[in-house]
Structure 1
Amino acid sequence: MGEENAVKTPGDILGRVSEYTSGRGTHVRGDHICASIVGQQSISAPAAGASDKAQLPVIEVINGKERSAVPETGSTVTAKVVRIDHRKATADILCVGLRAVTQKFTGIIRQQDVRATEIDKVEIATSFRPGDIVRAEVLSLGDARAYYLSTAKNELGVVFAKSPAGVRMVPVSWEKMQCPKTKVIELRKVAKT
């Protein structure tokens, strides 16, 4: 009874209790599941190993004002580098795991947190550039202004970079990316995919 992701208002009928399990933002009225809040309708698969009743897909209404994803120590984040200096890279955190953030969080990748080996030889300018998208791990809550991030694992580092020609660069090693158009190679701390 309606498309997934369609905007629903309180009282809208979403489906029957014989077809779905009532989830967040819904209530049951008779044999129908109805919206309780304004938001987008979402249908998700039943939980693995659930009881017979829970074998039905879950229908929910998700409000856009739900709590934003917040970085926590140990979580993986995706961030955009906005500024670099000789000791650190400053980045705006875009996602925590797979969830987008709705408020601004700043992260700092310090020189000693770029990679696990040869820390004394790390240069921020050869690891990141402004505009790069990086995958990093939250080390700590840092100071009042920024989270401390690390790219010291193989799967962490630059996941997206544009060349001066405006083309998406491709990784050629763990420390180099190449522009497919101009063939220019630039140094980066590349995330292993």
Structure 2
Amino acid sequence: MGNFLPGELRSGSMARPARCCVPGERLCGLQEAAPGSGTYTRLGSVCAALAGGLLTTRRDGELPVVSVVRDVESQLLPDVGAIVTCKVCSINSRFAKVRILYIGSTPLKSTFRGTIRREDIRATEKDKVEVYKSFRPGDIVLAKVISLGDMQSNYLLSTAENELGVVVAHSEAGAQMVPISWCEMQCPKTHSKELRKVARVQPEFLQT
């Protein structure tokens, strides 16, 4: 039965994780269990799609379902390609330094450092981009992880896609500004305008 252990099954609802799995690990054959969340099928087998705990659920008269779930108590790490929410800490002419606060919609227990380089702010006319016209300290930004930096805790981020960029910014008057274009936000109190790399926020990224 491969790596799948009958003793991991429990009657009723979901069991406690029996053991840890790593991405790509073969869990069982398709004739033994159906694939659940955190898995994929390959060559007649169910394999782990992520690192986490192996869970199985028994269904009356049907094959059990095998799933892989992350430990909700463990610290998540940003993966390349992940969408993250971060806060701008400082800027200079070459990059913005940020703190990563969320991975997707999941808040982090401790933040990670990130950098958005000038050439990664926009997809077009990169040579004309100016960091201070895109971000200001205190801005909340949606970005995508593109690679690790020099240290494991310093991630390189991009806001080049239309859906990425500033989602929350405050004016000098202290009011939360309203986006009025892809490159401007306006203070509702003073009606003054400030330049930003504004995100076209998709519904799944809105925090309620």
Question: TM-score, length-normalised on structure 1?
Answer: 0.69
For the residues of structure 2 that align with 1:142 and 1:170, how far apart are their CA atoms?
33
| 2:114 is equivalent to residue 96 of structure 1 | no
| 2:174 is equivalent to residue 174 of structure 1 | no
**Match among 21, 24, 40 for residue 13 of structure 2:** 21
User: Which residue does the alignment assign to 2:158?
Assistant: 150
Name the CA shift for 1:184/1:76 in 2 (closer, same or farther; >3 Å).
same
Alignment partner of 2:96: what SS? Answer: strand
Query: Does the Cα contact within 8 Å between 1:69 and 1:100 map onto a contact in 2?
Result: no
Query: Does the Cα contact within 8 Å between 1:88 and 1:124 map onto a contact in 2?
Result: yes
| 2:198 is equivalent to residue 190 of structure 1 | yes
Please list every run of 5 or more consecutive structure 1 residues that lacks an aligned counterpart in the other structure. 1-16, 26-46, 55-62
**Match among 122, 140, 153 for residue 147 of structure 2:** 140
Question: In structure 2, what residue type is equivalent to 1:115?
Answer: R
Listed one character per residue, the Cα deviations across residues 26-49 of structure 1 (whole Å, up to 9, x for unaligned) are xxxxxxxxxxxxxxxxxxxxx8xx
Query: Does the Cα contact within 8 Å between 1:73 and 1:139 map onto a contact in 2?
Result: yes
- Tell me the percent identity: 51
Question: In structure 1, what residue type is equivalent to 2:172?
Answer: P
User: Which residue does the alignment assign to 1:74?
Assistant: 81
Please list every run of 5 or more consecutive structure 2 residues that lacks an aligned counterpart in the other structure. 1-9, 18-36, 38-56, 63-70, 202-208
For the residues of structure 2 that align with 1:117 and 1:124, how far apart are their CA atoms?
14
Listed one character per residue, the Cα deviations across residues 71-108 of structure 1 (whole Å, up to 9, x for unaligned) are 11111100000000010000000011111111231000
Query: Does the Cα contact within 8 Å between 1:74 and 1:139 map onto a contact in 2?
Result: yes
Question: In structure 2, what residue type is equivalent to 1:148?
Answer: L
Name the CA shift for 1:67/1:172 in 2 (closer, same or farther; >3 Å).
same
Residue-pair matches, total: 147
CA RMSD of aligned residues (A): 2.7
For the residues of structure 2 that align with 1:140 and 1:85, how far apart are their CA atoms?
21
Alignment partner of 2:119: what SS? Answer: helix
For the residues of structure 2 that align with 1:104 and 1:52, how far apart are their CA atoms?
40
**Match among 155, 159, 167 for residue 159 of structure 1:** 167
User: Which residue does the alignment assign to 1:119?
Assistant: 126
Question: TM-score, length-normalised on structure 2?
Answer: 0.64
User: Which residue does the alignment assign to 1:108?
Assistant: 115
Question: In structure 2, what residue type is equivalent to 1:172?
Answer: I
Question: In structure 2, what residue type is equivalent to 1:106?
Answer: R
For the residues of structure 1 that align with 2:162 and 2:79, how far apart are their CA atoms?
20
Give the deviation of 1:51 after TM superposition. 7.8
User: Which residue does the alignment assign to 1:29?
Assistant: none
For the residues of structure 1 that align with 2:163 and 2:157, how far apart are their CA atoms?
14
